[in-house]
Structure 1
Amino acid sequence: MIYTLDHEPAHIHLTGPGQAKINLLGPDGSPELVSSVGIKRSDMRRLFAEVVERREEFLKAWERIHG
């Protein structure tokens, strides 16, 4: 999820049975996990891999929403 009234840096929020925040551009240019609460480690690995795979799509959405 990308919130419309959110702040830099470009990031997404994962919500469901837990919550996580992932910066789309970490220090090395790849996604970076900021926080995770209530998500099993195995599920977080799977979700993070999907974010890595879809990073460009998420960055384009961030740009469209936030300019």
Structure 2
Amino acid sequence: MPTVLRFNGLRAVIYPNDHRPAHVHVMGHGCEAVFNLHCPEGPPELRENFGFSLKELNSIESMLAAELPTACAEWEVIHGQP
């Protein structure tokens, strides 16, 4: 599972054998959330949350929005067109 981004003690990963649509799993602090990326324009959208607070989710979403080109490019490297 390639880590494509790191921020605030969290990591965003894309599983090589995962399904479309383009998305990342954000993990850390004993929690996990899945965000659909909506490549290439965004915005990232929360799909699933396992333990993050609303404040943490808002911060993660902002960070993913800022790094959307990188996340989408990594998805394309691993899976082809989003």
Question: Normalised by the size of structure 2, how large is the TM-score?
Answer: 0.73
* Runs (4+) off by over 6 Å: none
Q: CA deviation at 1:15?
A: 1.2
- Distance in 2 separating the partners of 1:29 and 1:61: 15
SS in 1 for 2:20: coil
**How is 1:1-67 mapped onto 2 (pairs within 5 angstroms)?**
1-16=13-28, 17-25=30-38, 29-67=42-80
- Distance in 1 separating the partners of 2:45 and 2:59: 14
Q: CA deviation at 1:42?
A: 1.0
More strand by share: 2
Where do 5+ consecutive residues of structure 2 fail to align? Answer: 1-12
- Distance in 2 separating the partners of 1:58 and 1:29: 11
Give me the identity figure in percent.
33
The AA in structure 1 aligned to 2:31 is G
CA RMSD after TM alignment? 1.6
Q: How many residues align?
A: 66
Q: CA deviation at 1:14?
A: 0.7
